Structure 1
Amino acid sequence: MAFSANSFEHNWQTLKENPLGEIAGSLGDLGTLLPLMTALTAGGSISLTATLIFSGVFNVYSGAFFGIPIVVQPMKAVASIALARQLSLKETMAAGIGVGIVVMLLSIVGMIKKAADLIPLPIVKGIQVGAGLSLCLNAGSMLSSLSLNGSKWDDNLFWAIGAFSILYGFSRLPKFPFALLVFLLGGIFAAIEVATSGGGGLPAFGFWWPFNPTIPTPTEFATGFGTAGVGQIPLTILNSVIAVRYLSEDLMPARPAPSVTALGISVGFMNLTGCWFGAMPVCHGSGGLAAQHRFGARSGTSVILLGLVKIGAGLAFGESLASLLQRFPKSLLGIMVFAAGIELASVAENLNSSARDLLSPTSATLGTEQSRSAIYTPLRVLTDREKKERFLNMMVTAAMMLASKNTFVGFLAGVFFWALLRLQDRMEGLREARASYAPLNEASALLGR
């Protein structure tokens, strides 16, 4: 099994040793969740009540099952197309259901595992770097609408600069609860803004029921899956399954990494459960894992805590939370997204030193971080050319992913670059073989005279 059987013990022990880190880390992915969830709710593409409750349940089971902070976050391609084309709730649900079916089937038959074994590591890291830099660009989009004139007291560049200063001013204190402080401050600002603006009431307490079936018609399924779901499939497989597996190994080498099969089945299960009731299409994401880890999460406890809060908020406040979420300060959210992006992109630093494909089979499978570093045995020492080409392969993947705004295009560019390098290797090998046979041919020619 790809996950530890003692996940409960690890979660509980980590919570006792680092409660503040787990609480703060649980909020690390809000920079991705809140904007998309709020926008989709406002556009009528999802049910906020169902999204909070179902995604909360998925958070709890992910944390308990995997034992590490595997997040539950929006499917970004589905969300962006649903917003751009104003897809209805049933069309958006059809996209999530379709992606869930495809990813689950590919996981069960072992296709995703085979893909993960075949894809060169520089390409995987390129996808991670591209996703990280994409988050940084998203953060820039959030912050670009702000100004320094202070006309909006609760959301301007002064708050962003202050948050950035605190984030990296305390960067050598990994247990500093940055995300928790930002969330509390942003929540206070949002509540004051709602109470004083008159644009919407504060959340109203009540009991909200999420089980209202939303069954798409064949036409709605064709529209939703055809326009939003198809483009999400490669993104989910590459960034939410394969990249998550490798990232968990990089960030938490002392914990068993989840298998790509387990992650793929999990993605399918979530969408084949929640989307029938209007819950937002979700997946596991490498950016979310990096964000939770950056702000202190080291076990599944962090996502379990977040899940319990989501369930409680959904049952008690439901759709009435929308107006509050819409006013959460972009200045604070933007810095959280930026930090998550930098954390994700930074996993590329070990590409040519201690990346998994350079370790011997014994050192690569050791169970603890200490033993892995102590008995680290490279399979080979890379030449300068190999280092440069591995780095270029990674950057071509990341750069094309950013330029095209499409993970699959970046992946194809990386594979094509890798194939061209292997072709050159083969041609050089043939030339060397011919050169080595040349003296023998000359000797044979002399003997034949």
Structure 2
Amino acid sequence: MATQNPPVADIETAQISSQTAQAGSTTGSWANGAFQKLKSNLVFRSKWAELNGAMGDLGTFIPIILALTLARDLNLGTTLIFVGIYNFITGAIYGVPMPVQPMKSIAAEALSDTNFGVPEIMAAGILTGGILLVLGVTGLMQLAYRLIPLSVVRGIQLAQGLSFALTAVKYVKQKQNLPKSKALGDRPWFGLDGLVLAIVCLCFIVIVNGAGENLRRGCGAAREGSDQRDEDGDVEGRKSKTARVRKIIFSLPSAFIIFVLGVVLAFIRRPKVVHEIKFGPSSMEVVKISRHQWKRGFIKGTIPQLPLSILNSVIAVVKLSSDLFPGKEFTATSLSVTVGLMNLVGTWFGAMPCCHGAGGLAGQYKFGGRSGACVALLGVAKFVLGLVLGSSLAHILNQFPVGLLGVLLLFAGIELAMAARDMNTLEDAFVTLMVTAISLVGSSAALGFLCGMIIFVILSLRGWTKDKPFSTIWTDRSTPEQP
């Protein structure tokens, strides 16, 4: 009996079903992989360490946001809601404590110019975000990352770190009027925001955290190196009482404890602040921006902010991330795109323009942040505070001891500045220090970057001439070598 071939229609149906099954399997595999990556990025390496690390960026975040809220009527509630969402998303995407900070150059312009109000701030943020998005999508940001030498980037990081540290010392040493960015005289030695309190907190952080990663591997876990030395020194395997005390002390979440202390002191300094709290989110509406405000925002906000965002918010963050998290691979393209998208969403509703920052990353790493769960947790806290308290939270933050914020900012700045310690050659160190000096004196990262690139090129050309002065190049070429 002859075998009948299946109809052509049945064969086509089977092929379509097979292709559909393969496509579904591929989609399911991709979704499962994305879910596993998301889960891995949001896993707490150590609960206390990640919680402590989340406090590492507040020394920068709180003063800027509070000053703009009080001086320029920034919508604090809306800012907290959107920044909280940004924090959670970036933590989930990158799997490291990627910070979300206010754009500092735009904030500085708003605080120094009374005519630079909320519409100009939002216009500057939208335009900056749009340009960064274009640079990321077109690949130009990645090209810039590859072309800019490491020594120049380290100079920018060192300048930014020292700038943070100097600002932190001012916060500790002098009383501050944050809305006007002015010092109000020397800080008293004693009191709920005195020098003694700040110095004690500073010493407490040094005792708990030490000088850095070489002595500390996470504040929520036992010090592996210290424990190992203790165990090696104890022949019978018994830990001494001193070792147990050290383990407990080194496991304390120092930054979190200081932040909680600051909140408690805020209520003690002004108990009536409780009556000024209003529950519920702030009203959210689209910001109306006139043509003139778009122009002012671009000229006075976007132009000064762009170099800082490109260098410190994207390129320096990529470099620092590769140093701190060797297993994680980030591109300048992805960071540029995320910064761009952040500022093309929330700013239309009055949220402060934001970016990533090498200083924030260094600060969160310093205090124990190791995963995306660190900033995701911080994001949830900001989101909840924005919904529950709204802009009335500013009354509490206004009573927060500024000296304690200075202590947190000081360690973030030092940690960022220490990234330049890998400049081992004389030429690299020279370029780094030149960029740092020019950036600090000129108060411009763009000026420091430009001068650094010129110096780097000159040194490279000098190297091609085998370190001979330019005045002797032609003489040496025209004079025959003596036997």
* Both proteins in one fold, TM over 0.5: yes
User: What residue number does 2:265 align with?
Assistant: 189
- Partner Cα separation in structure 2 for residue 257 and residue 56 of structure 1: 24
Task: Give yes or no for the alignment of 1:40 onto 2:114.
Answer: no
Shift of residue 421 of structure 1?
Answer: 1.0
Task: Give yes or no for the alignment of 1:237 onto 2:266.
Answer: no
- Partner Cα separation in structure 2 for residue 260 and residue 408 of structure 1: 18
User: What residue number does 1:272 align with?
Assistant: 344
User: What residue number does 1:361 align with?
Assistant: none
Shift of residue 436 of structure 1?
Answer: 8.2
- Partner Cα separation in structure 2 for residue 138 and residue 32 of structure 1: 10
Q: Deviations over 1:55-106 (max 9, x none)?
A: 0000010000111111100000000000110221111111101111111111
- Partner Cα separation in structure 1 for residue 189 and residue 166 of structure 2: 23
Gap regions ≥5 residues in structure 2: 1-32, 176-185, 220-251
- Partner Cα separation in structure 2 for residue 292 and residue 330 of structure 1: 19
Q: Deviations over 1:308-357 (max 9, x none)?
A: 011111011101111111111111110100000110011111222xxxxx
Task: Give yes or no for the alignment of 1:113 onto 2:186.
Answer: no
User: What residue number does 2:405 align with?
Assistant: 333
Higher Cα radius of gyration: 2
Shift of residue 398 of structure 1?
Answer: 1.0
Q: Which moved more, 1:171-180 or 1:236-245?
A: 171-180
Task: Say if 1:195 and 1:202, in contact at 8 Å, map to a contact too.
Answer: no
Shift of residue 411 of structure 1?
Answer: 0.5
Aligned residue runs from structure 1 range 43-442, under 5 A:
43-86=71-114, 87-146=116-175, 149-150=188-189, 153-170=191-208, 171=210, 172-173=215-216, 174-175=218-219, 176-196=252-272, 201-205=275-279, 207-209=280-282, 211-254=284-327, 256-352=328-424, 387-428=425-466
- Partner Cα separation in structure 2 for residue 209 and residue 177 of structure 1: 32
Aligned-partner SS, 1:338: helix
% identical equivalent positions: 37
User: What residue number does 2:7 align with?
Assistant: none
Task: Say if 1:202 and 1:321, in contact at 8 Å, map to a contact too.
Answer: no
User: Cα distance 1:73–1:191, how it changes in 2: closer, same or farther (>3 A)?
Assistant: same
- What is the count of residue pairs matched by the alignment? 398
Output the aligned Cα RMSD: 2.2
Aligned-partner SS, 1:29: helix
TM-score in terms of structure 2 length: 0.78
Shift of residue 179 of structure 1?
Answer: 1.0
User: What residue number does 1:9 align with?
Assistant: 39
Q: Deviations over 1:167-186 (max 9, x none)?
A: 11221444131110011000
Task: Say if 1:157 and 1:331, in contact at 8 Å, map to a contact too.
Answer: yes
Task: Say if 2:165 and 2:409, in contact at 8 Å, map to a contact too.
Answer: yes
Q: Deviations over 1:121-169 (max 9, x none)?
A: 1001111111110100110221221557445x21011011101111112
Q: Which moved more, 1:308-317 or 1:429-438?
A: 429-438
Residue identity opposite 1:423 in structure 2 = L
Aligned-partner SS, 1:70: coil
Q: Deviations over 1:378-416 (max 9, x none)?
A: xxxxxxxxx111101011011111111111011011111
Residue identity opposite 2:401 in structure 1 = P
Residue identity opposite 1:310 in structure 2 = K
User: What residue number does 1:360 align with?
Assistant: none
Aligned-partner SS, 1:297: coil
2:59 corresponds, among 27, 31, 54, to 31
Task: Say if 1:60 and 1:305, in contact at 8 Å, map to a contact too.
Answer: yes
